């Protein structure tokens, strides 16, 4: 790991610790709120581990901040969003499209080429999600459904339903996501993808 990445991890870790201490909660409390183990939270706060997408989103929600605020991005004085990409350890990139905590949060996600046979790591959390595919094919596993969403297709669901997003072997995927406690209703594509027989 190069020195610049070390400094970035230290800064993110310090910010995570500051946010937790400001709320006067323990690592165990935060683990219960986010579903992230206390040992992982401790390593993140110490700057010993780079956060993943699955860790950043519940941490931002638990602390009531945007992703930019979570990683302490510099403020901007004009209405344009500072598209400061956040690169995760799994190779995915998150571009926060909103700056204020609370309400609906908008993100653009870029996932690297995936494995069609990857075993999804289903997650649940409070809230509501709406996704819209820009480019590529997005695999969405939602409860018992295993779907492939193509460009121009959207899905919406309550995030208490176990879910997982991934790219396929056809290449990377870019999609927009609106995440909120209630969210806006949108068209749902709920037809399961065809599974190969045999």
Q: What is the CATH number for 124? A: 2.60.120.10
pLDDT at site 75: 54
Name which of 19, 122, 130, 131 is nearest 68 in CA terms: 19
Residue 34 near residue 89, CB atoms below 8 Å: no
Residue 167 token pair: 């790219």
Q: What is the pTM of this model?
A: 0.58
H or E stretch at 49: none
Together in a domain, 65 and 129: no
Question: What are the average pLDDT values for consecutive 10-residue runs of the chain, which has 198 residues?
Answer: 58 85 90 90 88 80 78 58 75 82 81 89 85 94 94 92 93 90 43 43
Q: Is 147 helix (H, G, I), strand (E, B) or coil?
A: strand
pLDDT at 121: 87
Does the residue 188 lie in any domain? no
Task: Answer yes or no: is 158 within a domain.
Answer: yes
DSSP 186: -
- Domain assignment of residue 144, given as a range: 103-180
- For the domain that residue 18 is a member of, what is the CATH number? 1.10.260.40
Same domain, 61 and 130: no
Task: Clarify whether residues 113 and 176 are in a common domain.
Answer: yes
- The answer to whether the CB of 98 falls within 8 A of the CB of 105 is yes
Whether residue 98 is contained in a domain is answered as no
Is residue 190 in some structural domain?
no
Examine residue 194 and state whether it is found in any structural domain, yes or no: no
Looking at the structure, tell me whether residues 114 and 174 fall in a common domain: yes
- How many domains would you assign to the chain? 2
């Amino acid at each position: 790991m190069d020195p610049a990445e070390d400094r970035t991890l230290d800064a993110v870790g310090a910010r995570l610790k500051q946010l937790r201490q400001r709320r006067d909660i323990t690592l165990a409390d935060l683990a219960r709120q986010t579903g992230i183990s206390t040992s992982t939270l401790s390593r993140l706060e110490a700057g010993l581990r780079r956060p993943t997408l699955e860790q950043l989103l519940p941490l931002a929600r638990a602390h009531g901040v945007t992703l930019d605020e979570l990683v302490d991005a510099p403020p901007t004085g004009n209405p344009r969003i500072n598209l400061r990409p956040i690169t995760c350890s799994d190779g995915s990139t998150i571009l926060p499209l909103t700056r204020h905590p609370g309400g609906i949060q908008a993100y653009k996600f870029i996932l690297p080429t995936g494995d069609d046979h990857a075993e999804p790591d289903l997650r649940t959390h409070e809230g509501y999600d709406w996704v819209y595919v820009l480019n590529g094919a997005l695999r969405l596993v939602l409860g018992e459904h295993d779907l492939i969403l193509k460009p121009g297709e959207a899905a919406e669901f309550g995030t208490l339903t176990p879910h997982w997003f991934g790219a396929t072997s056809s290449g990377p995927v870019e999609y927009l996501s609106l995440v909120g406690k209630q969210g806006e209703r949108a068209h749902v594509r709920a037809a399961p993808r065809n599974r190969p027989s045999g």
